[in-house]
């Protein structure tokens, strides 16, 4: 299951013409005016209203999942040095997959 905010974005209908993935920079695929879902989890995910969903075309790829994990860890760690190392890992990973 992908996490919103990491290559997956839920927005108000027609709020954006296009979005770029914040992980790999690819242009996101968009599904517009998806119908509202009901239920608590849907409400938490802001899916209880009509919405547009943007998702990175690379979202399901192994390297992209790894990149998302790295980005999350970088945001979480209190250590600047660790963050720097993980940032390098992330750049290597993207480069290996011909991103950037």
Q: Which residues bind Zn ion (CB under 5 A)?
A: 7, 21, 23-24, 26, 56, 58
Q: Please state, in angstroms and rounded to a whole number, the distance separating the CA atoms of residues 92 and 66.
A: 12
Residue 42: other Cβ atoms inside 10 A: 13
Work out how close the CB of 57 gets to Zn ion at its nearest, in angstroms, rounded to a whole number: 7
Residue 79 Cβ vs Zn ion, minimum distance, rounded to whole Å: 26
d(CA 12, CA 10): 7
Residue (6 or 86) nearer to Zn ion, CB: 6
- Which is closer to Zn ion, CB of 21 or CB of 71? 21
**Residue 56 vs 70, nearer CB to Zn ion:** 56
Q: What angle do CA 93, 94, 99 make, to 5 degrees?
A: 160
What's the min distance (Å) between Cβ of 58 and Zn ion? 4
> In this complex, which beta carbon is closest to Zn ion, that of residue 38 or of residue 98?
98
Tell me the closest approach of the beta carbon of residue 42 to Zn ion, in angstroms: 24
Task: For residue 40, give Cα distances in angstroms to 18, 35, 37, 45, 53.
Answer: 28, 16, 9, 9, 19
């Amino acid at each position: 299951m992908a996490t919103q905010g990491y290559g997956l974005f839920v927005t108000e209908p027609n709020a954006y013409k296009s979005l770029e993935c914040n992980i790999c920079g690819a242009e996101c695929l968009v599904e517009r005016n998806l119908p509202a879902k009901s239920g608590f989890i849907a409400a938490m995910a802001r899916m209880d209203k009509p919405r547009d969903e943007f998702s990175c075309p690379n979202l399901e790829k192994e390297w992209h999942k790894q990149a998302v994990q790295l980005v999350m860890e970088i945001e979480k760690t209190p250590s600047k040095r660790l963050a720097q190392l993980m940032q390098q890992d992330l750049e290597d990973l993207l480069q290996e997959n011909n991103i950037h």
